[in-house]
A and B are shown apart, each in its own frame.
Chain A
């Protein structure tokens, strides 16, 4: 009754799964792979009671750094919490005991700052008995190094917590490694978002792209315009209060994750119209208004007054330097139907070219955002439609057709790029689609060295049409992990069978840490 057509890799995997011993051979399993790993066969043992994480005397950060305090506590839990099978402090074969991990921050710690696109996430890890050292310039590197350290530790066949003597030097390949969640098509409870942030940290993701509103609903509770969510959310309990938003941002910060909100306009704004009169373009059916509405009305001064005020609020609520302004999929039919809009076009000499109207809108919006000292990210249409962009505007490439060519063009024009096109995780199919995501290389397009440098990273997108809190986690993990490694690890890390074996263990680790990550294939988790 099942699947004649198992591919060879799947069969090999099945065989591997049939031999649980070779399959579950204990050892460190790192995901994503660090830049440089040297492991020795010399083993150290650890115990919950004796092991601690503390500051090296040379560290600029100390116990007053709550970000690190919390991280130490978290990782102590992750390392030892799954020890139901632990048989107590079993010491065997004279293994030296690792008693401490000493953490040292070298430069100004940035403990109380927010992470940014330029944050230094590099670290080095030297694990030798009886004390291991984790060194980083900033707290962000410490967070990444703690995750790696926790992944080095495993339980040997007697249940003893074990670590190989190791030396690791690590830093990310790309500075922007994001996950997009969509809370407009379906509302995601805060708990789901926080869980996602946990899992992101396990995979060294550092950007939560929060597609917070869209046509379907407006759950963001604005202080300046409370009617937006009062009228535009699914219900009054499907709302993110300022306190909820602060919770998300702080929870993310403690994990070295930036929160970039997206307020997509001028299209994808149906839900805005309910709480903000005259914001959307009234569509016409012949000479009369049809009662339906199109994109934001770009010809009214009131529109830009509203946007100034609104984005001023957004810029204070969300501390990240960047705001995502959307700009995708603007539908022109409603604009075309509206006589005031067409008059305006005539006056401006735009002819029938609605892209120019779109450009006018976006340029004004970009102007607003730059006067409040924020950087902008936009979807690729904004570039495709020849909107004049300020230098430094980041273009996110999402259309799957010929995305390499798009990267070539955007970088040739000198704009930074975020790649998402091959990584739409809401598109599900039967089997191991993570392999497809994994084999993508973001720099695999025609262009000079300078152009390639403009690719700042990528994002896995989980759009919400068919996703809510019931299926978010298993749909995201471990599929997004494939992208996590692609964006962190060295270009040369691409052995797919090795990745399969490591990811299988990594997904079990995520499950153990409370993330309902779905299986890659037949098999089991040993706990």
Chain B
């Protein structure tokens, strides 16, 4: 480890001088030199290698070629073509792609291999990957390597890259319940996620505030639970669009239907689903979490999650399970009676467990895996050993790194989010703290560390909608992206600052409303439309 670390940092120092300094996230191994090759847009093409398992007609790559051609050569400020003068640099007129394993029509999964190698030298301009997903990551890196001289010629330096992600789950959470996000905001976010090599879109689709998911088995949910059933909903077609748009970028869509708390918006559309709260001996007219003592609740959940399981193809569903408030349950005499009957005493965590366990059984019967928030673990709900636990609380009941230790110690897989709540804003360059988090910095065996499958940047929506989403997300979420992709040793803040500053200018050039890290400018500034 020490040896490879040294080799690594030497390369880092060497690369600092070159154009490769603009890469984000930083690749695992890179060797680059000052010698470079010219690229002429009208001559250049992406090409499938003859022995590639993916060939023309592979939608994922065909479309990616088109996208990256546009990103590379259009939307740059127009410059007069270079006068025909002698080129000192030899030309590269194609990037040849070889994918080893077939599979263009599948969906990415937690197990997808994203490795690739990129070779640009006198003999080759070559991208090799195990899968199409790796090819997508390699294309992004390739696009970041191409630069333009002041005269307007495109160049790429002689470079050798061997790259793979450090963690396989690199997620971004958007919350479409506190504020509705128009479809274009979601799709735009998926684009920028791909630029940052994120691979999971955690869609916190519904919550207390609104229910925009248009269910075909229970249309009343959106009719009564959305902000506006004509305009503030996601139709089945919208959802399909998001999933396919994400797939084409190698991004999974992990949908969250959070229960039994955070469900106020479900109530109007499904009478009897929520617990009626009592004030003394009378119902107060307000409602609490999902009512866990009724058979009808589980019948509803069975049907609803059957639909969800088929609409969202990813193997995993996020079932929430956070912040269940017991006061309403406590106030309700029927619940009290049920508790007595079950022998739960006054321990409402037992009731919560009862609910969650029943729900987990329902979902696992549909052949799905699940992710839950940490409370499910904290409250000692019996869950399947392959459950993924997402850590979000910074301090309580324990510091988040201790929580990671406990969860992995119990043999569960863990996802880290606690230090990455991007909705929390402060003055100044907070990306630094976000960046310096080391997800494996807890006491534990190598086996425990191996159970950390990654993390997620979370953008909760209380104060965020399409007016401020993009500048609040980018480039701050980029700090999380690099932490989850790059080698553990990539922690130099100055190096990161330089690259991230350049990367944010590249984002502006690509039309992303990414906010500045510090004073300065970009050649091409964001222009309001």
Asked whether B515 is an interface residue with its Cβ less than 8 Å from the other chain, the reply is yes
Q: How far, in whole Å, are A146 and B527 apart by their CA atoms in the complex?
A: 29
Kindly state the separation between the CA atoms of A185 and B517 in the bound complex, as whole angstroms. 11
Residue numbers in A under 8 Å from B428 (CB-CB): 466
Most chain A beta-carbon contacts within 10 A, residue among B460, B462, B508: B462
Indicate whether A235 reaches chain B with its CB closer than 8 angstroms: yes
Q: How far is the CA of A234 from the CA of B520 in the complex (A)?
A: 8
Residues of A near B123 (CB, < 8 A) are none
Given A429-B425, A519-B464, also A470-B209 (CB < 8 A): no
Q: Is B136 an interface residue (CB 8 A)?
A: no
When distances are taken between beta carbons in the complex, the residues of chain A under 8 Å from B351 are none
- Which chain A residue lies CB-closest to B225? A18
Q: Is the CB of B178 within 8 A of A192?
A: no
Asked if B528 is an interface residue, CB under 8 A from chain A, the answer is: yes
Interface string of A504-526 (1 = CB under 8 A from B): 00000001000011111111101
Shortest distance from the beta carbon of A198 to any chain B beta carbon, whole Å: 11
B427:A427 contact, CB within 8 angstroms: yes
How distant is B98 from chain A, measured CB to nearest CB, in Å?
38
Residues of B within 8 A of A522 (CB): 178-179, 209, 461-462
Interface of A is mostly: loop
Instruction: Determine whether the beta carbon of A2 is less than 8 Å from that of B525.
Output: no
- A17 located at the interface, meaning its Cβ lies under 8 Å from any Cβ of chain B in the complex: yes
Minimal Cβ-Cβ distance residue in A for B320: A1
A428, B427: Cβ atoms closer than 8 Å: yes
Q: Chain A interface: which of B46-54, B397-405, B465-473?
A: B465-473
User: B523 and A235: CB pair below 8 A?
Assistant: yes
B426 touches A524 (CB 8 A): no
In the bound complex, do residue B465 and residue A192 qualify as a contact, i.e. CB atoms below 8 Å apart? no
Task: Write the nearest CB–CB distance from B282 to chain A, whole angstroms.
Answer: 20
Q: How far is the CB of B225 from chain A (nearest CB, A)?
A: 10
B 387-434 contacts with A by CB, 8 A: 390, 392, 417, 423-429
Are B427 and A192 within 8 A (Cβ)? no
CB distance from A527 to the nearest CB of B (A): 8
B369 at the interface (CB under 8 A from A): no
CB distance from B179 to the nearest CB of A (A): 6
Q: Is B314 an interface residue (CB 8 A)?
A: no
Inter-chain CA distance A474–B468, complex, in Å, is 6
Q: Which of B373, B527, B528 contacts A1 (CB 8 A)?
A: B373
On chain B, the residues within 8 Å of A429 by CB distance are: 425-427
A428 touches B323 (CB 8 A): no
Quote the shortest CB–CB distance from B369 to chain A (angstroms): 19
Alpha-carbon distance A524/B229, docked complex (angstroms):
12
Given the known A-B contacts A426-B427, A464-B519, A524-B227, are A187 and B525 also in contact in the complex, defined by CB atoms under 8 Å? yes
Q: Are A470 and B179 closer than 8 Å at their CB atoms?
A: no
Interface string of A1-40 (1 = CB under 8 A from B): 1111000000000100110100000000000000000000
Q: Tell me the bound Cα distance from A519 to B469 in angstroms.
A: 11
Inter-chain contacts of A518 with B (CB < 8 A):
463-465, 467-468
Q: Which of B178, B392, B471 contacts A470 (CB 8 A)?
A: B471
Contact of A516 among B179, B392, B417, B468 (CB under 8 A): B468
Within 8 A of A (CB), among B480-525: 508, 513-521, 523, 525
- Min CB–CB distance B76 → chain A (angstroms): 14
B521 and A217: CB pair below 8 A? yes
Q: A426-B427, A429-B425, A524-B228 are in contact. Are A466 and B518 (CB under 8 A)?
A: yes
Task: Known A14-B208, A519-B467; judge A526-B228 contact (CB<8 A).
Answer: yes
Contact A470–B526 (Cβ < 8 Å): yes
CB–CB B527/A469 < 8 A? yes
Is A191 located at the chain interface by the 8 A CB criterion?
Answer: yes
A465: Cβ under 8 A from any B Cβ: yes
Instruction: Return the chain B residue nearest A507 by Cβ.
Output: B467
Pick from A2, A186, A427, A469: contact of B528, CB under 8 Å: A469
CB distance from B217 to the nearest CB of A (A): 24
How many angstroms between the C-alpha atoms of A216 and B228 in the bound complex?
47
CB pair A474–B467 under 8 Å, yes or no, is yes
The answer to whether residues A428 and B508 also contact, given A1-B323, A522-B179, A524-B210 and a CB cut-off of 8 A, is: no
Which among A2, A428, A465 is the interface contact of B460 at CB below 8 angstroms? A2
Q: Which residue of A lies closest to B507 (CB)?
A: A470
Bound CA–CA A469/B508 (angstroms)? 11
Contact (Cβ within 8 A) B467 A18: no
Q: Is B62 an interface residue (CB 8 A)?
A: no
Name the residue on A nearest B286 (C-beta): A15
Chain B minimum-CB-distance residue to A182? B519
Is A431 an interface position by the 8 A CB rule? yes
Q: Are A189 and B468 in contact (CB under 8 A)?
A: no
**A363 to B: closest C-beta gap in Å:** 31
A471 at the interface (CB under 8 A from B): yes
Q: Judging by beta carbons under 8 Å apart, are A3 and B462 in contact?
A: yes
B322 at the interface (CB under 8 A from A): yes
**Residues of A with C-beta under 8 A to B392:** 1
Cα separation A517 to B210 with both chains bound (whole Å): 21
B425 touches A471 (CB 8 A): no
Also in contact, A1 and B458, with CB within 8 A (given A519-B463, A521-B463, A523-B179):
yes
Q: Would you give the shortest CB distance from A9 to chain B, in whole angstroms? A: 13
- A226 → chain B closest CB, angstroms: 20
**A478 to nearest B CB, angstroms?**
10
**A86 at interface (Cβ–Cβ under 8 A)?**
no
Q: A153 → chain B, closest Cβ, in Å?
A: 21
Q: Is the CB of B528 within 8 A of A195?
A: yes
Instruction: State in angstroms the CA–CA spacing of A189 and B527 once bound together.
Output: 7
B227 touches A466 (CB 8 A): no
| Residue A467, interface by CB 8 Å | yes
User: Would A468 and B458 count as touching, CB distance under 8 A?
Assistant: no
Check A186–B208 contact: CB distance below 8 A. Answer: no
Q: Assess whether B208 is in contact with A511, with CB atoms less than 8 Å apart.
A: no
Q: Is the CB of B427 within 8 A of A469?
A: no
Minimum C-beta distance from A424 to chain B (A): 9
B180 within 8 A of A: yes
A14-B208, A519-B179 known; A469 vs B525 contact (CB < 8 Å) = yes
Most B-side CB within 10 Å, residue of A426, A428, A468, A517: A468
A192→B467 contact, CB < 8 A: no
Task: State whether the Cβ of B264 lies closer than 8 Å to any Cβ in chain A.
Answer: yes
Question: Which chain A positions have C-beta within 8 A of B265?
Answer: 18
Contact B515 A471 (CB under 8 A): yes
Shortest beta-carbon distance, A225 to chain B, in Å? 21
Max chain A CB contacts within 10 Å: which of B424, B458, B508, B525? B525
Of B423, B470, B516, B521, which contacts A466 at CB under 8 A?
A: B516
- A470-B228 contact in complex given A187-B525, A521-B462, A524-B210, C-beta closer than 8 Å: no
Chain A proximity of B520: nearest CB distance (Å) = 7
Confirm or deny: B197 has a beta carbon within 8 angstroms of a beta carbon on chain A.
no
What sequence of 0s and 1s flags, for each residue 217-234 of chain A, a beta carbon within 8 Å of any chain B beta carbon?
100000000000000001
B370 CB to closest chain A CB (Å) equals: 15
Residues of B within 8 A of A (CB): 178-180, 208-210, 227-228, 232, 264-265, 320, 322-323, 373, 390, 392, 417, 423-429, 458, 460-465, 467-468, 470-472, 508, 513-521, 523, 525-528
26 contacts between A and B (CB under 8 A): A1-B392, A1-B417, A2-B323, A2-B460, A3-B462, A18-B265, A20-B227, A185-B519, A187-B525, A189-B526, A189-B528, A430-B423, A430-B424, A430-B426, A431-B463, A467-B516, A470-B471, A470-B513, A470-B516, A470-B526, A471-B468, A518-B465, A519-B465, A521-B463, A522-B178, A524-B179
Enumerate the 7 nearest inter-chain pairs by beta-carbon distance, A residue then B residue, closest first. Answer: A474-B468, A471-B471, A234-B521, A524-B227, A516-B467, A518-B468, A471-B515
A interface residues (Cβ-Cβ under 8 A, vs B): 1-4, 14, 17-18, 20, 185-187, 189, 191-192, 195, 216-217, 234-235, 237-238, 426-432, 464-471, 473-475, 511, 516-524, 526
Known: A2-B460, A185-B519, A429-B425. 7 other contacts (CB 8 A): A1-B323, A2-B323, A3-B462, A14-B208, A428-B426, A470-B470, A470-B526
